[in-house]
Structure 1
Amino acid sequence: MAGVNADRPACLHLLLGRVERGPFDASITCRDGVAFQGRNGDDRGPAPAPLDAALRRATAGFILPWRMPAARPLRVDTEYVNVHIVPKGYPFASPWMGRHAYGAGERASSRSGTGLQTHNNSPLYGGLREAVMLGFGVIGTGEIARDFTRALQGSQRCRVVNVAGTSANKARAFAAEWGLRASSRTVEELLEDRRVEAVYVASPHSAHEQHALASLAAGKHVLCEKPLTLDAASTQRVIAEAVRRRRFLMEGFMYRCHPMLRGLLECLKGGAIGRILHLRADFGFRASRGSGRLFNPERSGGSVLDVGGYPVSFARLLAGVTEDAPFAEPTRISAWGRFGPTGVDELASATLTFPSGFTAEVTSSIAYAIGTTAVIHGERGFIVLPNPWIPGGDGQGRHNAFTIHRDGREPKELTFPTENAVYAIEAELVADSLPMLEPEWPAMSWADTLGNMQVMDAWRGALGSGRRPVKSEVTRGINAFLKVNQEGDLP
């Protein structure tokens, strides 16, 4: 590997415990006291064995990539499952905040006067791209694929140019319905289309990993419907492939891209209801048990995987506000759920407790019409969001709102109309993010996606896999990324 010029910014790339660029001074402190301090002066190979071992233990074998000026002192701390890589003097509370404010070849000064610069050796940089129409290929022909394609017909930045489904006939019918010039007989054929710059993965959950990996390997950027994969281990594999291929990857929680969310965060940070104390967030609907994958355990059915990621990701986002960070991870999870006759969780609730004292009660359902409301409680009032996930409950909705109830004042509704439907807003964020490989906060970064899946693993692990209602049986997470003991504490 080529050496690093200390006069120009270098890229520190930590992945699976390997340091592929250096040199740097680092200290690694784990919550259980395990620590390593030292200097890695060899920029041509892996980290020294003690550093490598410490990184693996501290992060369960995974650290996200981060760039920094060469030879700057670092502090690498693990808090629960997250790793913070912070050059000294960097102004943000977390490295993910504002990370993509710098484009290739541009230089900017932070509030501390430290300049950062990206360049084409960075694994987070995918090369220059002109601001032209971004061509999407869609994998899947279901309702979400239809909503996405319909929304992009009103976009000035993105368009759908090809589609592949479970059969050539379905793809042809989809293309005819939406006026697409091309359809593909197979996913492989779609990925060979040079007009397809980005892929929208809208296939069933069980196929997300396969289709995301294939798209990245073909050199395509990827916007994947939630959940990105079925568990944290497979999420890690997809992120690693995005790093390796230098391609954009984002999990499609579209509410994170809507201007209403930024407005909400500004209100919360401005003290609209005082210190945030608690969140109650639901996402549930009543579907027929004969409705395909939702109730089929062989097709990764169940409410937590289908819609539970929405309230969990929202809770982690708000917990981050309380800690002046992009997101935060819970220290304790207690769960309750009800399983249906097919063996999947039809109703599930979890209470999350965070280091700041902030708590959240989240509920998901595919068999009970519990609604889609979120209520944020603070010291001086509360905020009601009737449908934070989908504007007006309509995939083509162009209006969303929330109401602030401040103690001693009249309720105040804030509305957020948009020109584009939310799926188009999401797709245009992909186009606007390029050539960077992750979106700006509050959209889902790789660290955010991985942390969200870890919490969902723990939630599902706490529920178990029985066919009867269970309550507060907190066990190890599915892939042990969150180690949950019998009391429900996260070490």
Structure 2
Amino acid sequence: MNEVGVIDWGIVGAGHIAHRFAQGLAHVRDARLARVWSRRTESVAAFVQRHGGEGCGSFDDLLASDIDAVYIATLNDSHAGYARAALAAGKHVLCEKPATLNAGELRAVLETARVSRRLFMEAMKPPFFPLYRTLCEHLRRDPIGPVGLVRAGCSVANVPAEHPSFSLDTGGGALLDIGVYEMFLAVDWLGAPLDVQTFGRIGASGVDTFASVHSRHEAGIAQLFCGLDLDGKGDALLAGPHGYVWIHEKWWNPVRATVSYAGGRVVELNVPFEGGGLNYETAHFCELIRAGELESPIMTHEKSLRMISMLDAARSALGLVFPGE
């Protein structure tokens, strides 16, 4: 940290999600964009002109700079390599979801983080949103009982054919690009997965275009879906013995939730967010750096491992293998 308490960030990648991160970073106190690198130099120049910071000529140049943390915003297949290199270079790493392509890669990243004694967190945004935090606190004070069913899903039918989600080579597909959110919700409320059953289909490009996942967990059952060729509502349901929660569309950027109790009582929660939403996970990450922590107590390493294990099982059921696996 070049100034007391100020976290200097470097971004790897200059695509859509990198722009969203930079926009959110402007809403995080005592954090600033310092360096940016992407394989496409013209993208870096446009990015810096829009958001500030300094462009780097290579990934090694970015790692050699005096940044404190790296946000990895590249395509899925490159997450593990960039994360391990950044951690080994002494940088803290916030990595866009999915953290890696598979559980083996994630274990290698976590081992590098352990040896390097640097903070690593998968950038899973929902638990840091004000609505999600408000909902968790509400259910602690006014419970529906232990959640035993999670139902969630989203399918987007208008994804362009050239979008990376349809690329087998870069680790695309509905499961890794959309389903990872649903896996998080299941693991967050129901614990470790015990059994995972999956039905779905593989599209012309070789990736999954739709998947329906049923999983049994330590604390209950999850019914999840994700897709790239159907238009499906993006809401979520959490059911307990004394009521249920409906997190309204789009549940992964949550703003509204309805809590319905068995006796007929209904509580409406409406908590807007600011800064695009990525600023909340980033602020949490910065606080962990300042506190000298190596793991988030909210988005734990074990939670990421449980999520990727579900994704591995689902892909295995569909026969989906990425190059190099």
Report the TM-score when normalising by structure 1.
0.62
Deviations 1:417-471 (A, max 9, x none): 4455421111111110121111122xx11111112111111111122239xxxxx
Matched with 2:295 is 438
Bigger share in helix: 2
Answer whether contact 1:376 1:383 (CA < 8 A) is retained.
yes
Matched with 1:408 is 263
Structure 1 residues 381, 200: CA separation in 2 closer, same or farther (over 3 Å shift)?
same
Structure 1 residues 289, 342: CA separation in 2 closer, same or farther (over 3 Å shift)?
farther
Matched, 1:456 2:319: no
Unaligned runs of 5+ in 1: 1-127, 320-327, 392-399, 467-478, 480-491
Matched with 1:49 is none
Superposition deviation, residue 416 in structure 1: 2.3
Residue number among 117, 123, 136 corresponding to 2:9 in the alignment: 136
Matched, 1:209 2:72: no
Superposition deviation, residue 217 in structure 1: 1.4
- Read off the aligned partner of 2:7 and give its amino acid letter: L
Answer whether contact 2:147 2:239 (CA < 8 A) is retained.
yes
Answer whether contact 2:102 2:312 (CA < 8 A) is retained.
yes
Q: Partner of 1:370: helix, strand, or coil?
A: coil
- Read off the aligned partner of 1:383 and give its amino acid letter: V
Distance in 1 of aligned mates of 2:193 and 2:4: 40
Distance in 2 of aligned mates of 1:448 and 1:329: 8
Answer whether contact 1:157 1:428 (CA < 8 A) is retained.
no
Residue number among 227, 230, 235 corresponding to 1:373 in the alignment: 235
Structure 1 residues 134, 233: CA separation in 2 closer, same or farther (over 3 Å shift)?
same
Deviations 1:100-147 (A, max 9, x none): xxxxxxxxxxxxxxxxxxxxxxxxxxxx99862211111111110001
Matched, 1:169 2:42: yes
Distance in 2 of aligned mates of 1:185 and 1:248: 25
Residue number among 269, 274, 287 corresponding to 2:158 in the alignment: 287
Answer whether contact 1:350 1:459 (CA < 8 A) is retained.
yes
- With CA pairs under 8 Å and 6+ residues apart, which has the higher RCO, 1 or 2? 2
* Rg larger in structure: 1
Distance in 2 of aligned mates of 1:314 and 1:368: 21
Report the TM-score when normalising by structure 2.
0.92
Superposition deviation, residue 330 in structure 1: 2.0
Q: Partner of 2:271: helix, strand, or coil?
A: strand
Matched with 1:241 is 112
Answer whether contact 2:149 2:239 (CA < 8 A) is retained.
yes
Deviations 1:338-380 (A, max 9, x none): 2211121111011111234x11101111222213210112222
Matched with 2:197 is 334
Q: Partner of 1:352: helix, strand, or coil?
A: strand
Answer whether contact 1:351 1:359 (CA < 8 A) is retained.
yes
Alignment root-mean-square deviation, CA: 2.1
Residue number among 19, 26, 29 corresponding to 1:146 in the alignment: 19
Answer whether contact 2:2 2:8 (CA < 8 A) is retained.
no
- Read off the aligned partner of 2:204 and give its amino acid letter: P
Matched with 2:60 is 188
Superposition deviation, residue 277 in structure 1: 2.5
Superposition deviation, residue 237 in structure 1: 0.5
Answer whether contact 2:156 2:230 (CA < 8 A) is retained.
yes
Residue number among 264, 272, 275 corresponding to 2:143 in the alignment: 272
Distance in 2 of aligned mates of 1:301 and 1:263: 33
Matched with 1:423 is 278
Distance in 2 of aligned mates of 1:456 and 1:338: 15
Distance in 2 of aligned mates of 1:381 and 1:236: 38
Larger displacement relative to structure 2 (289-298 or 336-345): 289-298
Superposition deviation, residue 269 in structure 1: 4.0
Matched with 1:160 is 33
Q: Partner of 1:272: helix, strand, or coil?
A: coil
Superposition deviation, residue 212 in structure 1: 0.6
* Structure 1 segment 471-486 matched on structure 2, within 5 A: none
Residue number among 188, 191, 195 corresponding to 1:317 in the alignment: 188
Answer whether contact 1:401 1:416 (CA < 8 A) is retained.
yes
* Structure 1 segment 352-391 matched on structure 2, within 5 A: 352-356=215-219, 358-386=220-248, 387-391=250-254
Distance in 1 of aligned mates of 2:104 and 2:111: 11
Matched with 1:343 is 206
Answer whether contact 1:303 1:348 (CA < 8 A) is retained.
yes
Q: Partner of 1:347: helix, strand, or coil?
A: strand
Structure 1 residues 360, 268: CA separation in 2 closer, same or farther (over 3 Å shift)?
farther
Residue number among 126, 130, 141 corresponding to 1:259 in the alignment: 130
Q: Partner of 2:159: helix, strand, or coil?
A: coil
Answer whether contact 1:433 1:440 (CA < 8 A) is retained.
no
Unaligned runs of 5+ in 2: none
Superposition deviation, residue 220 in structure 1: 0.6
Structure 1 residues 460, 170: CA separation in 2 closer, same or farther (over 3 Å shift)?
same
Aligned residues: 320
Structure 1 residues 197, 370: CA separation in 2 closer, same or farther (over 3 Å shift)?
same
Answer whether contact 1:171 1:185 (CA < 8 A) is retained.
no
Matched with 1:92 is none
Distance in 2 of aligned mates of 1:228 and 1:176: 28
